[in-house]
Structure formats: structure tokens, C-alpha cells
Structure 1
Amino acid sequence: MIYLQNLCKTYTLNGKHKVVADDITAIFPSGVSVALLGRNGAGKSSLLRMISGAMLPSSGKVLSTGTISWPVGFAGSFSGELTGEQNCRFVARIYGVDTEELLYFVQDFAELGDHFKLPIRTYSSGMRSRLAFGLSMAVPFDTYLVDEVSAVGDAAFRTKSNRVFNERMSNAGAIVVAHSMGMLRETCHAGAVLEQGKLTFYPDLEDAIAAHMVNMQQAQTG
């Protein structure tokens, strides 16, 4: 379970204030995959970053009874001077998982071959993405945070990525941000709509999508 307690976040740019979280109190239940919906710029990615701990709120708390992932597929924390293997060893030590098991999984999943032992600065963007997604799947979490992630590579690799992700979801929950309603319907059961700093949780995904579509229509006509 993830509990947002009076969560507030305000950005200030050029003297103007942008509120992305306005005293949000909400619960994301354990073991439930939740679609996080909202218009562009509503603050969905900022909310995910606060839940992950990568961003501090202006006030309020994020409490959890289980472990929470970093955003799935996020490669921004890799050290370019270290090899793919060395970066994975570092993550394994941080999260206290079996290093050799993690290395075997990531190396097999990412299909990097000899590049696994080369510095990440030599990787293409696709190679970095495959490594990042594989590492995200190698560490077990109670809740996975997914922000517009899409598997890279050919059709076979995408199929493998979807299979592994769905396996993880059978024993965990997720908070998912994506523009594809089809992807959200395949992945999620519940929804939460972020609108003007307020978050509304819907136990039924279709109710969340309907509320989100109303907000989108009002934005177009307003």
C-alpha cells in the first residue's frame, strides 16, 4: 500500500507558481495496477518521482508498507564510465539482491553480448534502454512505477519484455502513466485522475478513463 498524506508540490518559474499536487491524500492499494491519468503538464511524472523518492514534495508525506521501484526503464542514473555489468553490480548491492542472479538475468534479458562488459558511454540509446528495462525487471518490488515505458527492439524482444513485465505484475502492483488507453486497459484494473493538483482514485479503470475524457473535452472547449 502507498499512502499519500497531504502531499503538496509547487514549482516556481519566473515568478509564476505551478501547483502539481494540492494537498493530495490518497491510497494506492497493495497488489493493484493503477493507471495514472491527467492532461499534459498536469504533473503525473512529478507525482511518480515523489512516490519513488527521486523528488521531495513541498510538504506532506509518501508512506508505504512495501517496496517501490524507480521508474521502470529509467537509465538516467547509470554511470557512463562503468560497464553495464558494473552498474548492475552496484544496483544489486544497493537493493540487497543476489548479485550473480541479477547479472545472469540482465545479461540474458538485455541481449547485449560482449557490450555488457563495456562502458555504458559506448552504448546506443537502444542498448541503454534494454539494459535499463532488464535491470528494472531483475529487482523484485511490491509496486512498479511505469512512466511511458515502451520496449525497444524487434517484435520478438518486445514480446519477451511484455511477458516478463506481466509476470512481475502477477505478484505486484503498479502505477502506470501512458497515453495508450489500450496499454492501460491491458495492464491496469483501477485508475487515478490528476487534475489541477487534485487526485481522484477510481477502483474501476473505466470510471477513471471516463472522468479523464471529460477533463480533456472541457480543456478543448474551454
Structure 2
Amino acid sequence: MIRFRNVSKHFRTQQHRKTILDRVSVEFLPGYSYGILGVNGAGKSTTMRMIAGTMLPNSGRIWKDLRVSWPLGLSAGFHPAMTGRENLNFVARAYGEDVRRVAGFVEDFAELGDYINAPVRTYSSGMSARLAFGLSMAIEFDCYLVDEITAVGDARFQKKCRAAFEKRRKNADILMISHGMNTIKSYCDKGMLLVDGRLVVFDKVDEAIEAYYRLNR
């Protein structure tokens, strides 16, 4: 379970204060996948980063008793001066995984060839994305965070990514951000709508989507 207790998050500029969450208390129940909806700028990605633990709230507490992924496909966390393999080894150790197994899986999945031993700063954006997605699939999580994942590689590689993700999600929940409502319907059981600092829970994802459309009229 993922639980928010009186969580507040805001950003302050010289001009004004932008409130993302205002004393929000909510639970993401195990066994369900949630779509997080909201208009552009509402703070969906910020909320997901707080769930991932890469950003802290200003106040309140986020409690987790399950293994949560980083946002799926995220490549921004790689150290550019380290090789692909060195980055994989570092992440595997951080998560208590077998280093050889993770490196072997990603090397085979990402299809980077000798570039696996080159610094990540020499990678194209597509190569970094393949490395990141492979790493996301190499480590099993109880809950996968998906923030507007984009297609990676050519049609053959995209098919490979979809197959790997479908295999993982059979035994895991998903928290997903997407502006594609068909994608939300395909993957999510319940919905949450982020609006004016509140996170409104809907037991049916279709109800969340209807409320989202009303906001965008």
C-alpha cells in the first residue's frame, strides 16, 4: 500500500506560490492500478516523483510497504561519465539485485552491443532510453510508475518492450500518468484526479476520465 498523510507540496517563485498538493490524505490500495489525471501543470509528475522518493513533500508523510519502481523508462538518473554497464551495476547493487543477472538481462534486452562499455554521455537519446527501459524490466517491482512513457526504438523493439511490460504487470500494480485516455483505460482500474491541490479518488477509471474531460471543456 502507498499512503499519503496530510501531504502538502508547493513551489514558490517571486511572483506567486504554486500549490500541487494541499494536506492530501489518500491511499493507493494494493491489487489495483491507478491512472493519475489532471490538466497540464497540475502537478502529476511532481506527485509521481514524490511517490518514487526522488522529491520530498513540504509537509506530511508518504508511507510505502511495497517495492516501487522509478518512473518507467527514466534515463535522467544515469551518471553520464560512467559506462552503461557501470550504471547498471550501481543500480543493481542499490536494489540488492544480482549484478551479473541484471547486467546480462539489460545487455541482451537493450541491444547496445559494445556501447554498453561506453560512457552514457556518448549515447543518443534512443540508446539511453533502451538502456533505461531494459533496466526497468530487469528488476521486479510490486508497483511500476509510468509517466507518459514514449515509444522506444523501431517497431520490432517497441513490440519487445510491450511484451516485457505485459509480463511484469501480471504480478504488479501500476500508477500511470498519460494524456491518452485509451491507454489509461487499458491499464488502470481506478482513477485519481489532481485538481486545485486535491487528489480526488474514483473507484472506476471511466468516472475519473469523465471528470477530467469536464475540466477540459
* TM-score (normalised: structure 1): 0.95
Quote the residue 2:64 is aligned against. Answer: 64
Quote the residue 2:45 is aligned against. Answer: 45
Contact 1:34/1:191 (8 A) holds in 2 = yes
**How far is 1:151 from its partner?**
2.8
The amino acid of 1:109's aligned partner reads F
Quote the residue 1:124 is aligned against. Answer: 124
Contact 1:3/1:62 (8 A) holds in 2 = yes
Quote the residue 2:111 is aligned against. Answer: 111
The amino acid of 1:19's aligned partner reads T
Quote the residue 1:135 is aligned against. Answer: 135
Which of structure 1's runs of 4+ aligned residues deviate more than 4 A?
none
**How far is 1:215 from its partner?**
1.4
Quote the residue 2:101 is aligned against. Answer: 101
Does residue 30 of the first structure (1) align with residue 39 of the second (2)?
no
Quote the residue 1:161 is aligned against. Answer: 161
Secondary structure of 1:5 counterpart: strand
**How far is 1:196 from its partner?**
0.7
**How far is 1:15 from its partner?**
3.7
Does residue 188 of the first structure (1) align with residue 201 of the second (2)?
no
Quote the residue 1:171 is aligned against. Answer: 171
1:16-59 deviation line (CA, Å, top 9, x unaligned)? 11100011111111132111000000000010011111111010
Tell me how large the CA RMSD over aligned residues is: 1.0
1:167-219 deviation line (CA, Å, top 9, x unaligned)? 111111111001111211121111111011100111211011011111111xx
Q: Hey, what's the Cα distance between the residues in 2 that align with 1:173 and 1:31?
A: 6
Range moving further from structure 2, 184-193 or 34-43: 184-193
Q: Hey, what's the Cα distance between the residues in 2 that align with 1:101 and 1:129?
A: 20
Unmatched runs of 5 consecutive residues or more in structure 1: 218-222
Secondary structure of 1:39 counterpart: coil
Quote the residue 1:20 is aligned against. Answer: 20
Quote the residue 1:220 is aligned against. Answer: none
Contact 1:130/1:151 (8 A) holds in 2 = no
Secondary structure of 2:216 counterpart: helix
Contact 1:145/1:176 (8 A) holds in 2 = yes
The amino acid of 1:152's aligned partner reads V
**How far is 1:161 from its partner?**
0.6
Q: Hey, what's the Cα distance between the residues in 1 that align with 2:166 and 2:31?
A: 13
Quote the residue 1:201 is aligned against. Answer: 201
For residues 144-155 of structure 1, the aligned pairs below 5 Å read 144-155=144-155
Secondary structure of 2:74 counterpart: coil
Q: Hey, what's the Cα distance between the residues in 1 that align with 2:60 and 2:166?
A: 32
Secondary structure of 2:90 counterpart: helix
Q: Hey, what's the Cα distance between the residues in 2 that align with 1:171 and 1:203?
A: 21
The amino acid of 2:110's aligned partner reads A
Does residue 3 of the first structure (1) align with residue 16 of the second (2)?
no
Range moving further from structure 2, 178-187 or 190-199: 178-187
Q: Hey, what's the Cα distance between the residues in 2 that align with 1:6 and 1:215?
A: 25
Q: Hey, what's the Cα distance between the residues in 1 that align with 2:11 and 2:214?
A: 26
Contact 1:72/1:136 (8 A) holds in 2 = yes
Quote the residue 2:90 is aligned against. Answer: 90
1:96-138 deviation line (CA, Å, top 9, x unaligned)? 0111111111111111111111111111110001101111111
Quote the residue 1:211 is aligned against. Answer: 211
Contact 1:31/1:174 (8 A) holds in 2 = no
Contact 1:31/1:171 (8 A) holds in 2 = no
